Structure 1
Amino acid sequence: MHIDYQSLRFEYRRSPDQSAAQLAHHPVVVVGAGPVGLATAIDLAQSGLRVLLLDDDRCLSNGSRAICFAKRTLEIFDRLGCGDRMVEKGVTWNLGRVFHRDDPVYSFNLLPEGGHRRPAFINLQQYYVEGFLLDRAGALPEIEIRWNNKVAALGPREDGVELTVETPEGEYRILAEYVVAADGARSPIRKAMGLESKGRSFRDRFLIADVRMKADFPAERWFWFDPPFHPNQSVLLHSQPDNIWRIDFQLGWDADPEEERKPERVIPRVRALLGKDAAFELEWVSVYTFSCLRMARFRHGRVIFAGDAAHGVSPFGARGANSGIQDAENIAWKLALVLRGEAPETLLDSYDSERVAAADENILNSTRSTDFITPKNESSRAFRDAVLDLAKDCAFARRLVNSGRLSLPSTYCGSPLNTLDADRFEGLMVPGAPALDAPLRDGDWLLRRLGGGFTLLHFGAASPVMPESETALRVVNITPEDDAEGLAATRYDARPGTTYLIRPDQHVCARWRRFDPEAVRAALRRATGRG
């Protein structure tokens, strides 16, 4: 059944909290029902926590907005129970092509090896992502969503955060033990707390045109530098579901945003790319300016900022929404442990340190991409064009071409939750790294086996026995027969007896060449902030 998620309107409903004699108490209040807020609420609810989700609107996002969702994000969606719907609806792609003027420069494959359940990327309009997450949230009785409920003020108390909420029927107040602010780039909560996001804005503007048409372009990422149909600027083309294509046109800083949104300005640009006889309709148009910025800290007492409320990057590289979903998975398991009394409140400080470092990495890559795409003087442009000319024949120059370094999962190498290696390992699965998937026997997959709690991943003929611990710990044993293609052992540099401790967000936090229950217990305490 097809649902037009853009046309959905949600009714305001009066809640019992509005007439309660005393302040209603909620363990967690999530503010903002975008992808990050919904993912946070679902993750918390799957841990058994009650979650109140407040949104000041009564609809999902308008227009495609974020469209590129990376393999790591899809794996998180799998754990949240809606990955299959995302992939089935989305346009799968692994390949990208770069052009300079009329000439192909080179192509690249973001997932050159097999043995992964999910592709490098799918393209899927943000309103579908929000809609599928909303459907999943609706299936979880622990989540209550209140539309047309705007947080107007908040203040700290010893036992939590007091929120003043505006509705069509007036204000009411509630008490939250913790608040997750996922209320977007303009974040009213950030403003109400007198906090800022600081960084750099770039003197350039880009036009997004979502075009409905039937075209023969492959499902790939195509990027042009200085094409003849849009000289001295850059253009990006992406396929989306429902025969919609995303086209980004660089406009320059002097462009008038209001004028450039008008169909009489947009249509000639699209025709120049597609040809004068091309049949198409404009689906959605927007003009934006690049900014790379973040808050100094993402945790302020019992208020935690996530997604665009905490950090922002330019769109090339698809680092915004993907990073926000990683924020959600990072904070959810930590809040769950703290609220259940299984970890000290100081565990939440690791959210700040891990995700601030991730934001800095994204901002660095996004800034470099923007500087390459939009050179600010003649010498920068001459360097860029020379690199593009060399890249046709020279592999070393291709590493310098930057049409947007595409989103990669964060590796928390410096996290205080990690236990340093005592044994020698090779490969990518260092403490702090996101766990890699691998095919198992009978069509199963490793990440699906790991699930969403603390997991002991053991390679060997016999499963280890773990004495009781303060924190629940699952054991997943992978035998040679399970590892049908041998890829799990290869990716984890595993021998018989190799053991990994995996966090609830499926990041490695410790590894050993042999199972040692005391070492596991110590690493588990460290990973829960009690070490």
Structure 2
Amino acid sequence: MSETRQRHAIYSFGYRRSADQDAAVPVRHPAVIVGAGPVGLATAIDLGQRGIPVVLLDDADRIGEGSRGLCYSKRCLEILDTVGVGEEVAAKGVSWKVGKVYFHDHEVYEFDLLPEPGHKMPAFVNLQQYYLEKYLVERVDRLDNVTVRWRNRVTGLAQDGHGVTVEVDTPEGPYRLVADWLIAADGANSTVRRLMGIAFVGETFKDQFLIADIRMEADFPAVRRFWFEPPFHNGQSTLLHKQPDNVWRVDFQIGWDADPEEETKEANVRARIDRMMEGRPYELEWVSVYTFQCRRNERFVYDRVIFAGDAAHQVSPFGARGANSGIEDAHNLAWKLALVLKGEAPQTLIGSYDLERIQAADVNIRHSTRSTDFLVPKSPGDKHLRDAVLQLARKYPFARRMVNSGRLHTAAHYDSALSTPDEEKFGGSARLGDPAPDAPLVDAAGNEVWLLNALSRDFTLLHLANGAAPNVPEGISLLTIGTDLKDASGVFTQRYDATPGACYLLRPDQYLAARFRSFDRTRVESALARARGE
């Protein structure tokens, strides 16, 4: 990606010398994270909240390099809520749930990503990535056991069966430290991946998009608008999103043969935007060019080095699968690594991160590949077929399922050995291997409480009141619906197909690991052991 300019605030942080730089021998830390982007910061906070000391290394000393990541999904917002910034992101961002698809100058159809009420978080929020990073850095500053070391550049590493020795360069010279576990969250051009000689496996698509952030006063609706071959852009695709601060993101398809340096010249960028905005005044804030890439590491766990976010996998931007899947990586990893570091789970539990998040990455890559194939037909026949689908979709709902302007991100589903298969039939929208759906509940004082906010950071057993409270095994927090919290609206009962006495075991990352129509301590103990990888 080649950035050309930006006109928004940059948040700078000073370099500070650490005590490790004066140590006679390398100091050992339980967890060292490389990369202070959203994924690295979220992982650090999650681990810190679980009592694990964290050192986070970043070779820069500032955030605010363009808006970059933009769309954050409902599931991502729920995860951000667990690390203390979800409400800030939702409040600052532009909420939306409706998307509109156009072909030439005609609307084809619109879709609603969250038609049902009863969720704390919206379907999506648009927010410039630098705001998210700012909120996460401020959250880190409130944690005593998480330290960010700015302008600490990793230059080498070596690992054995017990840890990873990391070589770090700073403005005051090099030093070394040792990590029990090293998490590489240092982006698509990962230094850790390069030092380890790990290559991405996948595909780079032969097309390019020009993206521009413009600041303007406009009464356009806060919906996702995507055009196939609009008249203002010479028959290529365009996407428009609203951001906070009167900033709008525009994506223009420019083709594989376009020269990025030429395309990002201000006069050429303005010529495209002028045709689209038809004379509406605006300020150009940030411009960049990107290509579609759908690739990943062969593995995400290499002994004591774990990859997350863009350092582990890359997908095309359409569908909002990049940052959202990276935040999901963080949430999946942190509780597992915390249990292993505390000696409460076997080291093999880390292998489930590799399996589950590769499973999720492959789904994202598959969706992104299909989106790209629809956006960029590979032959005249493919284009004729795509255009026919778009024409049919104006009148026939069946064709709308075939239109692909970027399937929007949804939470990952895990077909995992950590889940206990159902022995009894359950309906509702709660699914084994999915994150628990949120629901509005009421506390003893009559205040509305959201289910996901009421869960502990450990394993939680949701129990539907039915006489005496169950005697849950150690390591599980009990939350009784009907006693601790009331399901006044009936939403919880409907979503979980809940009956008196039923119980649901939720993992620390809020995934449904097991459910039973009645409490049986032996079965719950077995489900807990399975979810811990024992």
SS for the counterpart of 2:500 is coil
The 4+ residue runs of structure 1 with deviation greater than 4 A are: none
Is the Cα contact below 8 Å between 1:184 and 1:307 reproduced in 2? yes
State the alpha-carbon separation in 1 of the partners of residues 197 and 239 from structure 2: 37
Of residues 453, 458, 463 in structure 1, which corresponds to 2:458? 453
Please state how far the C-alpha of 1:61 moved relative to its aligned partner: 3.8
Show the counterpart of 1:337: 339
Deviates more, 1:472-481 or 1:287-296: 472-481
SS for the counterpart of 2:151 is coil
Equivalent residue letter for 2:175: Y
State the alpha-carbon separation in 2 of the partners of residues 274 and 459 from structure 1: 55
Q: 1:259 to 1:428 in 2, by over 3 A?
A: same
SS for the counterpart of 1:390 is helix
Show the counterpart of 1:228: 231
Is the Cα contact below 8 Å between 2:39 and 2:327 reproduced in 1? yes
Of residues 474, 478, 484 in structure 2, which corresponds to 1:475? 478
Please state how far the C-alpha of 1:337 moved relative to its aligned partner: 0.1
State the alpha-carbon separation in 2 of the partners of residues 42 and 199 from structure 1: 31
Q: 1:5 to 1:237 in 2, by over 3 A?
A: closer
Report whether the alignment pairs 1:504 with 2:508: yes
What does the per-residue CA deviation read over 1:320-359, in whole Å, with 9 as the maximum and x for residues that have no partner?
A: 0000000000000000000000001000000000000000
Please state how far the C-alpha of 1:460 moved relative to its aligned partner: 2.0
State the alpha-carbon separation in 1 of the partners of residues 458 and 93 from structure 2: 28
Q: Give runs of aligned pairs for residues 72-471 of structure 1, distance below 5 A.
A: 72-275=75-278, 277-412=279-414, 414-441=415-442, 442-462=447-467, 464-469=469-474
State the alpha-carbon separation in 1 of the partners of residues 204 and 9 from structure 2: 30
Is the Cα contact below 8 Å between 1:464 and 1:515 reproduced in 2? no
SS for the counterpart of 1:477 is strand
Equivalent residue letter for 1:515: F
What does the per-residue CA deviation read over 1:282-325, in whole Å, with 9 as the maximum and x for residues that have no partner?
A: 00000111110000100000100000000000000000000000
Show the counterpart of 2:3: none
Show the counterpart of 1:528: 532
State the alpha-carbon separation in 2 of the partners of residues 508 and 231 from structure 1: 48
Structure 2 unmatched ranges of 5 or more: 1-6
SS for the counterpart of 2:268 is helix
Please state how far the C-alpha of 1:5 moved relative to its aligned partner: 8.4
SS for the counterpart of 2:440 is coil
Show the counterpart of 1:46: 49
Is the Cα contact below 8 Å between 1:5 and 1:131 reproduced in 2? no
State the alpha-carbon separation in 2 of the partners of residues 305 and 476 from structure 1: 34
SS for the counterpart of 1:333 is helix
What does the per-residue CA deviation read over 1:49-78, in whole Å, with 9 as the maximum and x for residues that have no partner?
A: 100000011011400001000000000011
State the alpha-carbon separation in 2 of the partners of residues 336 and 461 from structure 1: 34
Please state how far the C-alpha of 1:181 moved relative to its aligned partner: 0.3
Is the Cα contact below 8 Å between 1:39 and 1:325 reproduced in 2? yes
Please state how far the C-alpha of 1:529 moved relative to its aligned partner: 0.9
Show the counterpart of 2:523: 519
State the alpha-carbon separation in 1 of the partners of residues 507 and 496 from structure 2: 15
Please state how far the C-alpha of 1:6 moved relative to its aligned partner: 3.9
Please state how far the C-alpha of 1:183 moved relative to its aligned partner: 0.3
* TM-score normalised per structure 1: 0.97
Task: Give the aligned length.
Answer: 523
State the alpha-carbon separation in 2 of the partners of residues 217 and 467 from structure 1: 53
SS for the counterpart of 1:207 is strand
Please state how far the C-alpha of 1:468 moved relative to its aligned partner: 4.2
What does the per-residue CA deviation read over 1:235-267, in whole Å, with 9 as the maximum and x for residues that have no partner?
A: 000000000000000001111000000111000
Please state how far the C-alpha of 1:157 moved relative to its aligned partner: 2.5
Equivalent residue letter for 1:285: V
Deviates more, 1:304-313 or 1:73-82: 73-82
SS for the counterpart of 1:345 is coil
State the alpha-carbon separation in 2 of the partners of residues 262 and 47 from structure 1: 48
Equivalent residue letter for 2:300: F
SS for the counterpart of 2:77 is helix
Equivalent residue letter for 1:232: G
State the alpha-carbon separation in 2 of the partners of residues 216 and 468 from structure 1: 56
State the alpha-carbon separation in 1 of the partners of residues 165 and 46 from structure 2: 23
Equivalent residue letter for 2:235: N
Deviates more, 1:495-504 or 1:460-469: 460-469
State the alpha-carbon separation in 1 of the partners of residues 8 and 281 from structure 2: 26
Q: 1:399 to 1:467 in 2, by over 3 A?
A: closer
What does the per-residue CA deviation read over 1:459-484, in whole Å, with 9 as the maximum and x for residues that have no partner?
A: 12446332543xx2101111197111
Equivalent residue letter for 1:204: D
State the alpha-carbon separation in 1 of the partners of residues 330 and 15 from structure 2: 26
State the alpha-carbon separation in 1 of the partners of residues 203 and 502 from structure 2: 45
Please state how far the C-alpha of 1:498 moved relative to its aligned partner: 1.1
State the alpha-carbon separation in 2 of the partners of residues 424 and 431 from structure 1: 11
Q: Give runs of aligned pairs for residues 13-52 of structure 1, distance below 5 A.
A: 13-52=16-55
Is the Cα contact below 8 Å between 1:421 and 1:512 reproduced in 2? yes
Q: 1:204 to 1:77 in 2, by over 3 A?
A: same
Q: 1:17 to 1:265 in 2, by over 3 A?
A: same
Q: 1:464 to 1:357 in 2, by over 3 A?
A: same
- Percent identical across equivalent pairs? 55
Is the Cα contact below 8 Å between 2:321 and 2:408 reproduced in 1? yes
SS for the counterpart of 1:425 is coil
Aligned CA RMSD, in angstroms, stands at 1.2
Is the Cα contact below 8 Å between 1:97 and 1:221 reproduced in 2? yes
